[in-house]
Structure 1
Amino acid sequence: MIASLLPPLPIIYLIFQKSLIALLVSFSPQGSILRPMIFPFLVLYNYYLLPKYVSYIPRTPWIAFVCEEITSALLDYLEKLLLSQWSFETYGPSVAAGTAKKADKETIKRLVPDEQTDRGRDIWERLKFGAWVATSSRYIGSPYQARNVPPYSKLNPFFVPTRLEFLLMWSIKFIVCYLIIDVMTQASQPEMNPIIYAESYVPFFSRLAEVTIEESITRIFTSILYWFGSYAIVQMYFTGFALISVSTGLDRPELWRPICGPLSEAYTIRGFWSLFWHQTMRKRFTKPARYITFHVFNLPRGHSVDSEFQRLLARYTEVFFVFLISGLLHHVMDVASGMAWTESGATTFFVMMATGVMMEDAMQWVFYDLLMGGDERGRSWAKGLGFLWVILVFSYATPFWAYPMLRRNTGEINNDILPWSVVAYLKAKK
């Protein structure tokens, strides 16, 4: 029935989902039966939509981006309406009900794009608040801001550029990222991908005796370039939307703080994901993971923890489910792009990341705390060793996810992420 009411047009459905979240936050109270009643239909329609993306979106990378936004909106619904119970009455999640100070409400009101705050216009104010919640992922500047959102300046965390400075800086960043992606695309040899990234090259330790030095170097450099390219893509998308939002006056520069943190923090796997990589998904992953850990499995938390084992069990159960949810999201993106469910290695990769974090914590505890007294963690040599560790772990795990995607790209235009190539244009002019 829902399929007949909503045509399989991904962009329209994305707008519908965001609008639905905004309306329910604005007008339904926390605990409303309407919120959980609607959620199963959204899950079913997302499933129904999976094979339809390829019919409406011409480029595979664009499909992945739109699918990510739509599936993330489903996680948004789960986090904001069912788990955190955002509502206009509390001007925040229900966990703050009865404890949120008026200053907190005023802080959030200042973040809503429209400056009008006339209390008499209740419906309009509800809609403004609902729209802010529905479109926010990091809640910048509010009491509910995601952890580890990087500032504009590490030396001056309170610095905010003017609109003109912002547009200039972000325009340069957008152009640089666009050119990086363009050069990487044009310099590749996609016709060789099925050979270089064959399925037989994905396993490593199980075939260690037959792994050549050349294959190992290819694995390392492919993994590094894959994440370098992913970083450029994330930056390009983010700065593109930031430029549109700020230049049109929909948002202010303070709401578009940098998407990624400093690379210098990526000397551990935990630091890579928590401090360097973007935090737009943080609450979407951590809230469901915490619910599963502390409500489904009923593991103790806080002062109710009786032993170190219980504390570690709860911590790493949450870590596991954070990465598992991330893996499933990226798995769905691969399937929407035309890949078979069994072909994608996204879930495998992210579960490996969870395992890597656990191994990393254990090794750091043994090496730094037990053997070296805990004083060497932040030293330059320790960070250098950490970067090497991160490169090796990512070089082992990334092919499980990246190789299936890379070997499907044999040079067809529908695999190009950019609509127009500067490099190809300049080549043609020569």
Structure 2
Amino acid sequence: PVTRREFKVRAYQAFDIIFDDIFLFPLYHDVCAVIFLSIGLDESWEWPPFFGPITEAYTMRRYWSHFWQRTIYRSFGTHSSLFLRKVLRIENQRTAFARIVNAFGVFGLSAIMHAMVSAKEGGQCAWGRSMLFWIYQPCAFMLEEAVQAVWGRLKRGFGVKESGLVKGLQRVVGYCWVCAWLLWIAPTRTNSLVNCGIE
């Protein structure tokens, strides 16, 4: 069982991972936007908001695809898609299997990139362990897809209509799930970095 102290530590770790980035990255982004827009090098459409609306983060897949900043996603997504097509010979990348393999590729590359940054900051001992935070993310996607499939069958079986109330309840459950996942997964990143003296 999780003690009250452990819950507080996990909550702090999840909060720490998210909120530093939510406040700092948009600040850098906005300062650069003001500079480049004011000197006429860019147009406003080239500087969309850095993060999406947090209200869209009611699954972990949506957390990463609709809310979280996607500065490196296009690059990692392209490399992962090429690997699927050229190495694994998976042409149809819209299947559930291809999407999961692609997600593991994207988050695997992200894990390597974040581990390299940690190592550069002096945390060579965190190299493998801090990567687990990123590698585990697609596992949440698989769990979500399984639960959504079962829930969809149950709704059809019991004749539950997709009303506003049902959609609202699904979102509330989704937000609780996202919070629970982040509380559970945060120590896989933070503890290894703390043990190496980085955080």
CA–CA separation in structure 1 for the residues paired with 2:124 and 2:7: 27
- Residue 371 (structure 1) aligned with residue 158 (structure 2): no
**Do the aligned residues in 1 keep the contact of 2:116 with 2:127 (CA within 8 Å)?**
no
Query: 2:10, 2:183 within 8 Å by CA — same for their partners in 1?
Result: yes
Of 94, 97, 102, the residue aligned with 1:318 is: 102
- The answer to whether the Cα contact below 8 Å between 1:293 and 1:299 also exists between their aligned partners in 2 is yes
- Aligned ranges for residues 26-425 of structure 1 at < 5 Å? 208=1, 211-301=2-92, 311-343=95-127, 345-367=129-151, 369-373=152-156, 375=162, 379-406=167-194, 408=197
CA displacement at 1:228 relative to structure 2: 1.5
Residue identity opposite 1:361 in structure 2: E
Q: Which amino acid aligns with 2:41?
A: L
Distance 2:173 2:13 in 1: 21
Judge conservation of contact 1:327–1:347 (CA < 8 Å) in 2: yes
**TM-score, length of structure 1 as denominator length:** 0.42
| Residue 321 (structure 1) shift | 0.5
Query: Structure 2 vs 1, CA of residues 286 and 376 (structure 1 numbering), >3 Å: closer, same or farther?
Result: farther
Alpha-carbon distance between aligned partners in 1 of 2:163 and 2:110, rounded to the nearest angstrom? 32
Unmatched tracts of structure 1, length 5 or more: 1-207, 306-310, 411-430
SS at match of 1:379: helix
| One-letter amino acid of the counterpart of residue 339, structure 1 | G
SS of residue paired to 1:372:
helix
Higher relative contact order (CA closer than 8 Å, sequence separation 6+): 2
Cα distance in 2 between the residues matched to 1:212 and 1:296: 46
Q: How many Å separate the matches in 2 of 1:341 and 1:240?
A: 35
* Bigger Cα Rg: 1
Displaced runs of 4 or more, over 4 A: 341-344
Cα distance between partner residues in 2 of 1:238 and 1:220: 27
- Contact kept, 8 Å, 1:331 with 1:341, in 2: the verdict is no
Query: Once superposed, what is the RMSD of the aligned Cα atoms?
Result: 2.2
State how many pairs are aligned. Answer: 193
What is the CA distance between 1:360 and its match in structure 2? 0.9
Contact 1:265 1:276 in 2 (8 A): yes
Deviations 1:354-398 (A, max 9, x none): 11111111111111x111138369711111110110011111111
Task: Flag the 1:290–1:409 CA change in 2: closer, same or farther, 3 A.
Answer: closer
Change (3 A) 1:215 1:240: same
For structure 2, the 5+ residue unaligned runs are: none
Identity, % of aligned positions: 24
TM-score between the two structures when normalised by the length of structure 2: 0.87
